[in-house]
Structure 1
Amino acid sequence: METLGPFDSWDKKAYDSKEFRRKKIMFSASEKEARYRAVRQVLNTEDLKAIILVGDMGIGPGFYGDLRYLTDYRVFYYRQVVVVFPNSEPVLFIESSESQRRVAAERSFVNDCRASSYFAADVANLLKDRGVVVGRVGVSFEMLPTAWFMHFKKELPQIEWEEVHERILQVRLQRSEEEADIYRKGAALADGGFEAVAKMIRPKVSEQEIVAEIEHFARARGAEECFTLITSGKFTLGDKNMLGGLHVPSPRLIEIGDTVEFEITPRYGGYWTQLVRRVNVGYPNHALSKLNTLSSNAIKKGLEHLNPGRTVADVFSAMKSHVNKGGYELSSAVGHICGVDLVEARLNGDNKMVLTPGTAIIIHPRIFTPDRKSNSFWGETYLLTHEGYERLNHIGDEVLTI
C-alpha cells in the first residue's frame, strides 16, 4: 500500500488552528484601492460614464467574477449589482434585506451598500441621480438580464451600452501578492481534504459520504464553498471499463476493486483552486497506474513551458506532442486559469494568452486510450512566478491504493 507524502503546501498547523478557522478573510486597503484604480482606468480610457457589473451564484466561465473582484463580496442568493463611477464611490445593491445590506457594508470593499427589491429600477434611478443620462455605460451582456436591459433602454434612451467584460477580465488577470497568498491557502485545503478522505474511503462507504468528508474539511477551515465532483467503479481498459464521468455524488457504495476519482475544488477568499486525483480500493490497478504515469509525464512536459513570456498554447502543444507520440489522445483542453471564477480561460491550443507572474493555472489533462474507451484524469494547481512556477498542491503523483 502506497502512503501519502508529507503535507507541506503552506502550514499544516496553521490550517488546523482555531485562529485560521475563525479568521475573517479580508484584503488590505491598498489591494482595494489598486482594484478601484484599475477599473477607473477602464472608465477613463473607454470614455464611460459608469460601469454596471452584475453577479450571481453561478460557477464556471469568467463572467461571474467581475462583481466579486471589485466588491470582495460573495453573492450567496439571487443576484447583486455594483455601479462604478469615474470620480465617486461605487454603489452596491443587495437583494431587499436590510440586515444583509448591513453585512455587505461591513464585509465588502464598498461603503455605499443599498437594499433593493427591484435592481433594474434602482440602478436606472441611480444613474439619473448622478446625471448619467447620455453617453456610454459599460456592461457585461453575458450577465445583464434581458429584462433589466429593456428597462434601462426605456428609462435611459440616450445611453450607449458598451461591452466591457474583456477589459475587466484583463484587470483581474493582473494578480497581486495578496491574491497569491489566498491561492496557497486554498490549495492547502484541497490537499487536506484529500488526506482526510484517503483515511476514510473503504468498501460500503458512499460517494456522498466521501464528498461530505472532503467538504467538511475545507468548510471547517475557511472555505466559503466547494465544487466537488466524483465518480467510482471498476476501471479496466476496453469495453468492460465501468468508471464513468465525474458528476455530483450519488448513493453508490464503494466496492473492493473500485477506482474512485474526484475533483476537489475549494473556494477560499473568493478564489478557486483544484486537485484532481484517483485512488484504488483494496488492491493496485496496474492499467490505471500506466495511464497515470503518462498523465504525470505530460504535465511535466507542459511545465517546461510554464514560464512568464510563454503562451498558454505553448504549454498545451508540449503536452499534446508528448501524448500523441505514445499513440494516445489528449482532450481539447487540459485545464484552465482560475481566480474568482473557476474557469477564467481555457488551457488549449487556441489560447495565445501570454503568461504573466501571479497567474494561477489548473493543469488536468484527460488522456484517452487509442480506442477512447478508457482515460486518465489527473492534475493540480500551479502559480506563475517571476522565475517560473510554484506548485500549489503537494499531494504526491502516485495513484494511492487504500
Structure 2
Amino acid sequence: MGTQNQLPLLSLNERDRRWELIRKDMEERGLDCLVIQGDQGLWGYNDCNVRYVTGIGDFGYALFPLKEDPICFVWWTAPYQARRSKDESHLTSTIRSKVKKDAPTRNPWALEKPWVRDIRQGWPRPSEAIVTAIKDLGLEKGTIGLVSTYHSWEPEGTFPYTVIKNLYSALPQAELIENATDILEKARLRKSTEEIRCIEVAGEIADRGIEAALNHIRPGVNEVGVYAKVVEAFLAHGSERLFMNWWASGQAPTHTQYFVPTDRIMCEGDILYNEYTPRYGGYVAHPHQPISIGKPIEEYQTMFALLKQTRDEALSKLKPGVTIAEQTEALTKPLEDAGYSYLHCPFHGLGLSGLEFPNAEFWGKTSPYVVSPPDMVFEEGMVLAYEPMISTPDRKIGFPLGDTVIVTKDGSRRLSKYCDDLIVV
C-alpha cells in the first residue's frame, strides 16, 4: 500500500481484488453488467457501492461490465477533463514554472492511482448517459443488474424510480434484474487488509475527537461549542467531510434525545455521549465514549457497571463461527435479566457505509433496516459497530458503550484506546 503524508492509500491490487469478486458472482448469475447507483445521502453511506468499484466518492453512478473496464458517471466532468487534457495554455505553463514543485498535494479519494479512466458526466439526465454507455459497449440486449435498489439500511432502496423507468424504456431488448445489490453487499462483507487499515486510521481520528470532547466539556460551556471542537479534530486529522456525529447530552439523556447539539449550557451532572463516525478513504469508525460532568448518580454508575460487564463478556465470545443470535443474546439478555432494557441494536456492520451487514435486531423487532439472519455466522475480516446500550425498563433513559470491533482469525479486537468505561471530568 502506498502512503501520502503517512496515511494509507488504496492500491490497484485492492481494486483488482474487488473487481474479481464481483465478476465471479456476475458470471455465475449470467449478468453482462451492473448499473450501480450512489448519492451522498445518509452521511455519504449511500455512495458505498459506487465507491467500492470506482474508488471515487462523488455522488453518481457506475457501469460495471463483466469484461470491459467500468465507467463512472459524476455530476460534473469539467474538472476531470481539464486535469487530464494534454493541452496546456501559456499562462498555465508560466504558473507551473513559478510555483513549488515539491509542495504537498491532495488525494481526495485515498487512492494510490486512479481506478477508473472513463469518467463521464451523468447530470442532468443520468439515465441518458448510462444508456449511451451501455450501447457503446454493445450490451443493449444484455442482462443488466441494478444495484442500490435496496440497502440493508434502506430496504426500499435509493435508486430513483425515474431512472429505472427510463432504462426500461430505452433498453427494450435488455433484461433488467432489479435485485443485484446483494452482489456488492456480499463482496463488501469481509474487509481486506487495506480496508481494515483505512478503518484503523478512521479509529485513530475518532480518538482525536474523543480527546477534543474531553478537553472542552465542562460546566458553563454550550453543547455546540464542544461539538465544534470534535468536528474540528476530525477534519484536522484527516477525516472526510461527510460523517455522522450523533449527539445526546443532559441530566437524563437517551439515544434519540437529540440528533445535533443545541446552544444549551452544559452543567454538573450532565451525561454526554456521541456516536463518533469519522471516515478515512470512505471507511467509517464508530466508537461511543460516554462522558459525565462530575460524579454520576448511583443509578447511572450501576447501569454502566452492568453494561461494561455485559459488553466485555460478550466480546470475549466473539469469533468466527459464532452466530448473530448468540451475540445478540449475549449483549441483551443480561440487561433484561437484571430488570433493564436496551435501545438501538447491539451491533451492526461497518465499512464504506456506517450501516452494513451483519446487522442485529433492534429492541422489540422495530429495526429500521434489514436484519441479518439469526443463524448467520461471523467471519474473519468482518468489522462491527459494537454498541450495546442499556436503558431503563421503559426505555426513556439510556446510553451505550461501544467501539469499532474487527473479527480476527480466532477472536476479535477493539480499535479505540477509550470506550472502556464512563469517563468523569
Contact 2:35 2:145 in 1 (8 A): yes
1:134 aligned residue: 141
2:279 aligned residue: 267
Task: State the SS of the aligned residue for 1:277.
Answer: coil
> In the alignment, does 2:39 pair up with 1:53?
no
2:120 aligned residue: 114
1: CA distance, partners of 2:73 / 2:418: 41
User: How far is the alpha carbon of 1:396 from its aligned partner?
Assistant: 4.8
1:158 aligned residue: 173
> In the alignment, does 2:250 pair up with 1:233?
yes
Q: Partner amino acid for 1:300? A: D
> In the alignment, does 2:246 pair up with 1:223?
no
User: How far is the alpha carbon of 1:198 from its aligned partner?
Assistant: 0.3
2: CA distance, partners of 1:217 / 1:249: 17
Q: Which moved more, 1:54-63 or 1:86-95?
A: 54-63
Q: Which moved more, 1:226-235 or 1:54-63?
A: 54-63
2: CA distance, partners of 1:302 / 1:363: 10
2:101 aligned residue: none
Q: Which moved more, 1:191-200 or 1:59-68?
A: 59-68
1: CA distance, partners of 2:43 / 2:229: 23
1: CA distance, partners of 2:4 / 2:184: 32
Contact 1:55 1:65 in 2 (8 A): yes
Contact 2:290 2:399 in 1 (8 A): no
Contact 2:54 2:70 in 1 (8 A): no
2: CA distance, partners of 1:61 / 1:362: 17
2: CA distance, partners of 1:32 / 1:379: 31
2: CA distance, partners of 1:369 / 1:85: 52
Q: Which of the numbers 258, 283, 286 marks the counterpart of 2:270?
A: 258
1:356 aligned residue: 379
2:72 aligned residue: 92
Matches within 5 A, 1:16-27: 22=5, 25-27=8-10
Q: Partner amino acid for 2:161? A: T
Q: Which moved more, 1:190-199 or 1:96-105?
A: 96-105
User: How far is the alpha carbon of 1:355 from its aligned partner?
Assistant: 0.8
Q: Which of the numbers 21, 30, 35 marks the counterpart of 2:18?
A: 35
1: CA distance, partners of 2:80 / 2:397: 48
Task: State the SS of the aligned residue for 1:304.
Answer: helix
User: How far is the alpha carbon of 1:218 from its aligned partner?
Assistant: 1.5
Task: State the SS of the aligned residue for 2:288.
Answer: strand
1: CA distance, partners of 2:355 / 2:405: 14
Q: Partner amino acid for 2:279? A: R
1:177 aligned residue: 193
User: How far is the alpha carbon of 1:292 from its aligned partner?
Assistant: 1.0
1: CA distance, partners of 2:175 / 2:55: 28
1:81 aligned residue: 61
Q: Partner amino acid for 2:390? A: I
Q: Partner amino acid for 1:58? A: G
> In the alignment, does 2:404 pair up with 1:391?
no
TM-score, normalisation: structure 2: 0.82
- Judged with a 3 Å threshold, the aligned counterparts in structure 2 of structure 1 residues 184 and 51 are, in CA distance, closer, same or farther, namely same
2: CA distance, partners of 1:24 / 1:362: 23
Q: Partner amino acid for 1:232? A: S
Write the deviation string for residues 190-222 of structure 1: whole angstroms up to 9, x where unpaired. Answer: 112111210111122222111111111111111
1:149 aligned residue: 164
> In the alignment, does 2:320 pair up with 1:308?
yes
- Judged with a 3 Å threshold, the aligned counterparts in structure 2 of structure 1 residues 315 and 296 are, in CA distance, closer, same or farther, namely same
- Judged with a 3 Å threshold, the aligned counterparts in structure 2 of structure 1 residues 96 and 24 are, in CA distance, closer, same or farther, namely farther
Task: State the SS of the aligned residue for 1:314.
Answer: helix
2: CA distance, partners of 1:243 / 1:123: 41
Contact 1:338 1:361 in 2 (8 A): yes
Q: Partner amino acid for 1:228? A: N
Write the deviation string for residues 233-254 of structure 1: whole angstroms up to 9, x where unpaired. Answer: 113xxxxx79962411212121
User: For structure 1, which runs of at least 5 residues remain unmatched after alignment?
Assistant: 1-19, 236-240
Deviant stretches of 4+, over 6 Å: 103-107, 241-244
Contact 2:387 2:402 in 1 (8 A): yes
1:188 aligned residue: 204
Write the deviation string for residues 7-46 of structure 1: whole angstroms up to 9, x where unpaired. Answer: xxxxxxxxxxxxx994575211111110111111122111
- Judged with a 3 Å threshold, the aligned counterparts in structure 2 of structure 1 residues 242 and 369 are, in CA distance, closer, same or farther, namely closer
1:373 aligned residue: 396
User: How far is the alpha carbon of 1:378 from its aligned partner?
Assistant: 1.8
Contact 2:50 2:62 in 1 (8 A): yes
- Judged with a 3 Å threshold, the aligned counterparts in structure 2 of structure 1 residues 61 and 304 are, in CA distance, closer, same or farther, namely farther
Write the deviation string for residues 172-201 of structure 1: whole angstroms up to 9, x where unpaired. Answer: 112111111111111111112111210111
- Judged with a 3 Å threshold, the aligned counterparts in structure 2 of structure 1 residues 57 and 23 are, in CA distance, closer, same or farther, namely farther
Q: Which moved more, 1:311-320 or 1:56-65?
A: 56-65
1:167 aligned residue: 183
Task: State the SS of the aligned residue for 2:354.
Answer: coil
Write the deviation string for residues 242-282 of structure 1: whole angstroms up to 9, x where unpaired. Answer: 99624112121212222222111111111111111221213
> What CA RMSD, in Å, does the superposition of the two structures yield over aligned residues?
2.5
- Judged with a 3 Å threshold, the aligned counterparts in structure 2 of structure 1 residues 193 and 325 are, in CA distance, closer, same or farther, namely same
- Judged with a 3 Å threshold, the aligned counterparts in structure 2 of structure 1 residues 61 and 242 are, in CA distance, closer, same or farther, namely closer
User: For structure 2, which runs of at least 5 residues remain unmatched after alignment?
Assistant: 84-107, 150-156, 363-372
> In the alignment, does 2:213 pair up with 1:197?
yes
Task: State the SS of the aligned residue for 1:261.
Answer: strand
- Judged with a 3 Å threshold, the aligned counterparts in structure 2 of structure 1 residues 213 and 107 are, in CA distance, closer, same or farther, namely farther
- Judged with a 3 Å threshold, the aligned counterparts in structure 2 of structure 1 residues 392 and 70 are, in CA distance, closer, same or farther, namely same
2:360 aligned residue: 347
- Judged with a 3 Å threshold, the aligned counterparts in structure 2 of structure 1 residues 61 and 213 are, in CA distance, closer, same or farther, namely closer
